Amino acid sequence: MKTKQPTRRAFIKTAGAGAAWFAVPRFLHASSSLNGNPSPNLIVIFCDDLGYGDLGVFGHPTIRTPHLDRMAHEGQKWTNFYAAASVCTPSRAAIMTGRLPIRSGMCSDQRRVLFPDSAGGLPSSEITIAEALKPKGYATACIGKWHLGHLPQFLPTNHGFDSYFGIPYSNDMDNTTKIGREAFWRPKTEYFNVPLMRNEEIIERPADQNTITKRYTEEAVKFIKENKEKPFFLYLAHNLPHVPLFTSDHFRNTSPRGLYGDVVEEIDWSVGRILETLKGESLDQNTMVVFTSDNGPWLTYDQHGGSAGLLREGKGCTFEGGMREPTIFRWPDHIKPGVVTDMGSTLDLLPTFCKLAGADAPEDRVIDGVDLRPALFGTGPGPRDLMFFYRGQQLYAVRKGEYKAHFTTELSYYKDNKKTYHDPPLLYHLGHDPSEKYDIAKDHPDVIADIRREVEKHEATLIPVEDQLAKRLVKINKQDG
């Protein structure tokens, strides 16, 4: 999984109006002391169902995201960055552990995600980013959507986080109405009896989702200010723009893109508040901030869903639109601003963060993530050359270098489609054809043979584990006592 690929170049924008984009090598702007603190602060801002094309800096013509645009200008815009799954629960398990969800039992062919009646969750044997950083003195906080188990033993406070404030699963669950999808077109807070939790206690039900982005932001700002004297890891996982869409009064009916745009623009405001706080607390140059999403847009919700831009399909499938995410890294004076075309994944955050913090990554298990520092600092090519695309427990596709082979295809959730097997597999050159339109399998049997060998090596590392998503709570019949 660490075979070398040709060094690519970043494109950085010169200062000034009308500046042009031109190619220059990336290089490292960093000191070993990190301004006197050897352990940088680490912030992950994780969206839910945000599409590759939903930010201004990633090409959306009407959603205004000035803070994220500036974050990309001051940092790095990654154009080949992937979530490890195309739906919530397995994707979140992967970002937390650096492991494909097939290794932790956090994906299933029976149920796509965890539900309020689920009995499973992220096993205690898994090691999260928070747990890996704790021995180095990091304060840790999880704010937002967890979706890795709502029972006490699975909550963030039992997975290395000092505190938790958020909802334990998706904001469309606990639907109290009988009007079905109509509840999503004209959503009201009372339609979704989702709990808001602080640590292990429910403090509000239903959660007022109209103000939830604002409250998550306030919690994040408070955590940063209270922990500015020590290294910290903040995982801010917005439960939007997953449907149903909610936004505060200040942003409602303000975006040219309608309600979906209102929601994304409020998230952009939130990012601005985080960056502003870091500057105000003199933490800016000692904090890496990563912005990305758990999977692609939920296309079947029409204008309430987002856009994958030029990428094919969206949430729930293994085409590029389902798993390639809009991603930005920012760390002033340490990473050179630019556009990075090297491949990366949310799987890579755990090993990269461990290296930056001087922490030990787990060595007693397979870690699917790689250390992205060469690509971040421009000291060499990105080490990721392979990406495996699972749907449930089935491997559907593999990318190696610029080539992606689809052994099985299936469209986004809730579409009238069927599973199709391909032999030979479909083959696309993603550099030439990011929209996956032109099958070139007949011209490259050698590439397909090489990818098949990678599949064999990968599958030899898999060990059967318990399916956590298939486990359900037992309903007790009151008449039985």
Mean pLDDT, the chain, whole residue set: 91
| Residue 142 designated active-site | no
Cα distance between residue 171 and residue 183, in whole Å: 12
Q: Under 8 Å CB-to-CB from 70, ≥6 apart: which residues?
A: none
Give residue-wise pLDDT tens across range 361-385. Answer: 999 999 999 999 999 999 999 999 9
* 297 exposure class (CB count in 10 Å sphere: 0-12, 13-18, 19+): buried
Q: At which residue do the structure tokens 């949310």 appear? A: 346
pLDDT higher than threshold 80 for residue 65: yes
**CA distance readout (Å), 165 to 97, 185, 291, 415:** 20, 27, 19, 34
pLDDT higher than threshold 80 for residue 20: no
pTM of the prediction? Answer: 0.91
Q: For residue 406, what is the DSSP state?
A: E
* 455-471 average pLDDT score: 97
Given 47, 60, 107, 147, which residue is catalytic?
147
| Residue 304 designated active-site | no
**pLDDT at residue 415 in the model:** 67
Given 88, 107, 142, 317, which residue is catalytic?
88
**What is the widest separation between alpha-carbon atoms in the chain?**
75
Give residue-wise pLDDT tens across range 106-115. Answer: 999 999 999 9
Domains annotated on the chain, with CATH: 35-384 (3.40.720.10), 388-459 (3.30.1120.10)
pLDDT confidence band for 15 (50 / 70 / 90): very low
Least trusted range by pLDDT, from 7-11, 43-47, 239-243, 418-422: 7-11
